[in-house]
């Protein structure tokens, strides 16, 4: 397996880390806390936007060039002169620097903080943690046991045994169709920001990623080392939704993509320092040249005495993580973030960075396409539609640390299921920009013409998005399709020429595989024919169409309101 030296990448490419390890602990008399120190400018920097290769990888530069995004002054590393003076300040320990925020993360007590704020180039300071008190907080995945998962799986139709229990959540949004067309994420680089990845270095579902050198780098931004196969299993579970690749057991939505595993979340407490970790990790991902960030993290409420966010903060411009996500999107990265699991709580709304503009925020549905009760809703505080799209997050299948398969609930799973699908779609359409990828996925979705703040534009269909993107936003005349979709009282079939003037056998199943309707349609020369099934309950359905005389069977998906 190939693991880049993060110390080298962080210094030579990113410019976010001051050195391979934080400056040695300092002698203090007060409580040491983390702070984000903002600088006034980047005066004295030896770097220029004309020479981006000095601080960005070739792949990061190429990603910008491919999307016509110029390197900006915000991409320049902070002034080395300022860094040196911060490190020389008595009582200060330098952890990271931030290009995008022109800032540094430091650890010091209040006396040393006063010394920093007195420096002429320091503009302001923001405290990131106020206590070392342990928290009982847990991440929003709620897995069932493996045994329970097996009984649930019996209810779901596995039409392709190769995918194991992951079939439906991938097929629901068109990932399986893209895989069958040869797009499984090859050549796409995905950074996963999470709370730990135990078992990824050993278990069988991740073996192909390891053996094919598609595990590109790891880094723990909490402990500031490369050890990520520890701490919380949440990252292992979410990663598997994309990277799992073990035939007949589990196949994720981007089983051939390449990955950076970045640990940013400290589950022992909840303070804004984790948003700063998210920022630094996103800058690292940018410099390493990733295409997609998958983040099943969100921030609303912090442990006392740190100040929690308010709904008014959810405007995409206030929180550290949301501002960082916006910067990543402006650099040409597709940022995919879970909406959050507060839909059934008093808060209800999405968190940060899901509120950020240009971020693909993902809500959760069940296998029938019905919104999960826990899925956080929009709008943002400034009135924008959120989430953007939805995928299965209720009883979603994932890989455990031991390599088994279980099911659990959370937008944490919906996010990577969709992020991996986006990678396969982008692979199929490599000339698109990150924002165009999001656009076409939204255009393909079940609520594209009538988005709302529960499911956004709805459940996407990556196969349909691929057709739309390649045909300038239109479905070619004569392609087999169902409309309207989502369906109302009336339902019609669009027939291609080869299916006209012959009797057709049409069968409708629900997603459990139960037969709902079956009929023989008389030959018709019309391009559009009424389907007229019996009234259907709300949910997702599969419709197979084949000539009665024999021939290729075609399957369509549609949603009934």
| Average pLDDT of the chain, as a whole number | 88
Residue 94 φ then ψ, to 5°: -90, 125
Question: How far is Cα of residue 94 from the mean position of the Cα atoms in its chain?
Answer: 30
Helices (H) and strands (E) in the chain, counts: 14, 23
**Conformation bin of residue 416: beta by default, left when phi > 0, alpha when psi is -120 to 50:** alpha
* Catalytic residue (one of 35, 75, 171, 194): 194
User: What are the residues whose beta carbons fall under 8 Å from the beta carbon of 264, sequence distance 6 or more?
Assistant: 193, 194, 195, 221, 222, 274, 277, 278, 280, 281, 297
For 192-201, what is the mean pLDDT? 97
Could you report the per-residue pLDDT of 300-323, keeping only the tens digit for each?
A: 999 888 999 999 999 999 999 999
Torsion of CA 123, 128, 132, 134, to 10 degrees: 180
What the block records as the tokens of 352 is 């940060």
Does residue 421 carry a pLDDT above 50?
Answer: yes
Name the more confident of 280 and 497: 280
For the purposes of burial, counting CB atoms within 10 Å of the CB of 357, is it exposed (0-12), middle (13-18) or buried (19 or more)?
middle
pLDDT band at 17 (very low <50, low <70, confident <90, very high): very low
49 neighbors 73 (Cβ within 8 angstroms): yes
Q: What is the per-residue DSSP string for 417-478? A: HHHHHHHHHHHHSTTS-HHHHHHHHHHTSTTTTS-BTTTBT-S--HHHHHHHHHTTT-PPTT
Q: Which residue has the tokens 């966010």?
A: 309
Local structure of residue 175 (DSSP, 8 states):
H
Set 319, 322, 412, 446: catalytic member: 412
Identify the CA nearest to 378 among candidates 395, 396, 357: 357
Catalytic residue among 35, 179, 234, 309: 234
320-330 vs 273-288: helix axis angle to the nearest 10? Answer: 10
d(CA 139, CA 274): 13
Q: How many CB atoms lie within 10 A of CB 277?
A: 29
Residue 428, CA distances (Å) to 130, 242, 388 in order? 47, 17, 21
Residue 104's pLDDT band (cuts 50, 70, 90): very high
pLDDT on residue 24: 54
Q: What is the pLDDT of residue 153?
A: 39
524 belongs to the catalytic site: no
What gap in Å lies between CA 219 and CA 205, rounded to an integer? 21
532-541: per-residue pLDDT in tens? 788 888 888 8
Q: What per-residue confidence (pLDDT) applies to 553?
A: 80
Residue 532: predicted pLDDT: 79
Catalytic residue status for 234 = yes
Read off the pLDDT band of 29 (50, 70, 90): low
**83 near 97, Cβ under 8 Å?**
yes
- Say if CB 27 and CB 91 are below 8 A apart: yes
The average pLDDT across 97-111 equals: 97
Percent with pLDDT over 70 in the chain: 89
Task: Provide the residue ranges of all domains of the chain, joining segments of one domain with +.
Answer: 6-127, 142-470, 481-560
pLDDT of residue 156: 41
Helix, strand, coil: what percent of the chain each, to 5?
25, 25, 50
Whether the domain at 142-470 and the domain at 481-560 fall into the same CATH topology: no
Examine the pLDDT at 373 and tell me if it is beyond 70: yes
Q: Are strands 189-194 and 292-295 parallel, antiparallel or unpaired?
A: parallel
Q: Is residue 487 classed as helix, strand or coil in its secondary structure? A: strand
pLDDT tens, position by position, 61-76: 999 999 999 999 999 9
pTM given for the model: 0.85
CA dihedral for 442, 437, 139, 315, sign (positive or negative):
negative
**Rg for the chain, CA atoms, rounded:** 25
Identify the band that residue 242 occupies on the pLDDT scale cut at 50, 70 and 90: very high
Judged by DSSP in three states, 40 sits in coil
Kindly indicate whether the domain formed by 142-470 is annotated with CATH number 3.40.50.200: yes
Which CATH number is 481-560's, of 2.60.40.10, 2.60.40.3080, 3.40.800.20, 1.25.40.10? 2.60.40.3080
Strand partners, 17: 96
DSSP state, residue 19:
S
189 is catalytic: no
Q: How far apart (Å, rounded) are the C-alpha atoms in residues 125 and 84?
A: 18
The kind and range of the H/E element at 351 are none
Contact (CB, 8 A) for 518 and 506:
yes
Contact 290, 214 (CB under 8 A): no
Q: Would you call 15 exposed, middle or buried from its count of C-beta atoms within 10 A (0-12, 13-18, 19+)?
A: buried
Find the farthest-apart pair of alpha carbons in the chain and give their distance in angstroms, rounded. Answer: 88
With H, G, I as helix, E, B as strand and everything else as coil, classify residue 112.
Answer: helix
**pLDDT tens readout for residues 425-466:** 999 999 999 999 999 999 999 899 899 999 999 999 999 999
- Paired with 363 in beta bridges are 390
């Amino acid at each position: 397996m190939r693991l880049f030296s993060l110390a080298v990448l962080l210094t030579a490419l990113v410019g976010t880390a001051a050195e391979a390890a934080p400056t040695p602990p300092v002698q203090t008399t007060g409580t040491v806390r983390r702070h984000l120190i903002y600088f006034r400018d980047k005066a004295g920097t030896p770097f220029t936007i004309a020479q981006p290769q000095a601080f960005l990888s070739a792949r990061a530069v190429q990603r910008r060039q491919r999307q016509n995004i110029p390197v900006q002054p915000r991409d320049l590393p902070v002034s080395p002169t300022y860094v040196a003076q911060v490190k020389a300040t008595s009582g200060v320990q330098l952890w990271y620097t931030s290009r995008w925020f022109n800032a540094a993360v430091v650890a010091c007590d209040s006396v040393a903080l006063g010394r920093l704020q007195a420096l002429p180039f320091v503009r302001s300071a923001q405290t990131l943690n106020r206590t070392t008190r342990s928290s009982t907080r847990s991440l929003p995945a709620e897995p069932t046991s493996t045994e329970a998962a097996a009984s649930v799986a019996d209810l779901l139709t596995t039409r392709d045994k190769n995918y194991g229990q992951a079939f439906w959540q991938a097929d629901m949004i068109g990932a399986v169709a893209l895989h069958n067309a040869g797009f499984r994420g090859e050549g796409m680089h995905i950074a996963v920001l999470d709370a730990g990845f135990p078992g990824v270095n050993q278990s069988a579902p991740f073996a192909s990623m390891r053996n094919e050198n598609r595990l590109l780098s790891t880094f723990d931004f909490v402990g500031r080392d490369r050890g990520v196969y520890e701490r919380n299993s949440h990252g292992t579970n979410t990663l598997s939704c994309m990277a799992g690749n073990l035939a007949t057991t589990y196949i994720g939505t981007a089983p051939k993509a390449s990955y950076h595993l970045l640990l940013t979340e400290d589950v022992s407490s909840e303070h804004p320092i984790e948003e700063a970790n998210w920022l630094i990790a996103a800058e690292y991902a940018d410099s390493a040249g990733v295409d997609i960030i998958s983040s099943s993290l969100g921030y609303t409420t912090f442990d006392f005495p740190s100040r929690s966010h308010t709904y008014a903060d959810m405007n995409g411009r206030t929180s550290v993580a949301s501002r960082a996500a916006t910067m990543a999107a402006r650099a040409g990265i597709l940022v995919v973030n879970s909406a959050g699991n507060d839909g059934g709580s008093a808060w209800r709304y999405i968190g940060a960075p899901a509120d950020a503009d240009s971020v693909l925020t993902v809500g959760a549905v069940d296998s029938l396409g019905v919104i999960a009760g826990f899925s956080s809703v929009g709008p943002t505080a400034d009135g924008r539609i959120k989430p953007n799209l939805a995928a299965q997050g209720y009883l979603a299948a994932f890989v455990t640390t031991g390599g088994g398969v279980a099911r659990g609930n959370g937008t944490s799973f919906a996010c990577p299921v969709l992020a991996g699908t986006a990678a396969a779609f982008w692979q199929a359409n490599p000339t698109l920009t990150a924002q165009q990828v999001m656009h076409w996925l939204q255009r393909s979705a079940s609520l594209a013409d009538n988005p709302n703040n529960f499911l956004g534009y709805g459940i996407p269909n990556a196969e349909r998005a691929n057709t739309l993107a390649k045909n300038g936003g239109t479905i070619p005349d004569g392609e087999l399709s169902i409309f309207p979709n989502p369906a109302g009282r009336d339902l019609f079939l669009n027939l291609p020429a080869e299916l006209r003037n012959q009797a057709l056998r049409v069968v409708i199943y629900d997603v459990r595989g139960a037969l709902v309707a079956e009929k023989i349609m008389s030959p018709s020369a019309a391009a559009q024919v009424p389907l007229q099934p019996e009234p259907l309950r709300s949910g997702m359905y599969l419709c197979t169409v084949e000539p009665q005389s024999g021939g290729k069977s075609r399957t369509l998906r549609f949603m009934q309101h």
